[in-house]
A = this chain, B = another copy of it.
Amino acid sequence: MDFMTDFKPLTVQPQEIEARSFEMITEELGEHPFTEEQYSVVQRVIHASADFELGRSMMFHKDAVQAGIKAILAGKPVIADVQMVQVGISKPRIEKFGGDVRVYISDADVMEEAKRLNTTRAIISIRKAIREADGGIYAIGNAPTALLELIRLVKNGEAKPGLIVGVPVGFVSAAESKEELAKLDIPFITNLGRKGGSPVAVAAVNAISLLAERQV
């Protein structure tokens, strides 16, 4: 394909590019085990990663998507583990219901306490988030220690997140943390294996806020 002669179609508006991409994804994915609302999330994850293997590895607690929609409609906050997730999440569809998108990992008090306790900022930021925003949607794309801490707090009865989107990427602890998440009987979205990352967490939350907007 000579892109210079075909330049016009390549500069279509973002909405058109997205619509064409979604058609290609549905066609190439073929049969899949997801419900219609789960597929809205999977489709957006594949769109963000161009990775069908990652898309097929997605796992959903049966109440996950509805719990996410409910949290957004109730104006609950979204808590991102890192800045990349915070900036990637589309804000207007969350803010119109009274919510916001937060990130605690670079707060001065979080950094100080992590140093004092000789632990990760990710862990301390989750503790702060639960104090300030329990019931919200937790979007974890990077830090397995954040996800493990959140799981620990849930098991201890100290946290009751509205939804956990737990998709950290990496070679150390990421896959294990997601296996532990998948054992919980609370609303979660995750995936098997090492893959994941900020764009996956962002895609999942954006898919859910779109579903929430369409439901009203």
Complex contacts, A4 vs chain B, CB 8 Å: 152
In angstroms, Cα B154 to Cα A4, docked, is 13
Among A134-183, those with CB < 8 Å from B are 144-145, 148, 152, 169-174, 176-177, 180
Query: Known contacts A21-B171, A25-B171, A145-B11; is A195 also within 8 Å of B50 by CB?
Result: yes
Q: Which of A12, A20, A123, A197 has the most CB of B within 10 A?
A: A197
A170 CB contact (under 8 Å) in B47, B83, B177, B197: B47
Q: Is the CB of B180 within 8 A of A3?
A: yes
Q: Is the CB of A199 within 8 A of B145?
A: no
CB distance from A201 to the nearest CB of B (A): 11
Indicate whether A215 reaches chain B with its CB closer than 8 angstroms. Answer: no
Chain A interface bracket (under 10, 10 to 19, 20 to 34, 35 or more): 35 or more
Oligomeric state, in copies: 2
Indicate whether A193 reaches chain B with its CB closer than 8 angstroms. Answer: yes
Indicate whether A111 reaches chain B with its CB closer than 8 angstroms. Answer: no
Residues of A within 8 A of B (CB): 1, 3-4, 7, 10-14, 17, 20-21, 24-25, 47-51, 83-84, 86-88, 119-120, 123, 144-145, 148, 152, 169-174, 176-177, 180, 193-199, 202
26 A-B residue contacts at CB 8 Å? A3-B176, A3-B180, A7-B148, A10-B144, A10-B145, A11-B119, A11-B120, A11-B148, A13-B120, A20-B171, A21-B170, A21-B171, A21-B172, A24-B171, A47-B170, A47-B171, A48-B197, A50-B169, A50-B170, A50-B196, A50-B197, A83-B87, A83-B88, A84-B84, A84-B87, A197-B197
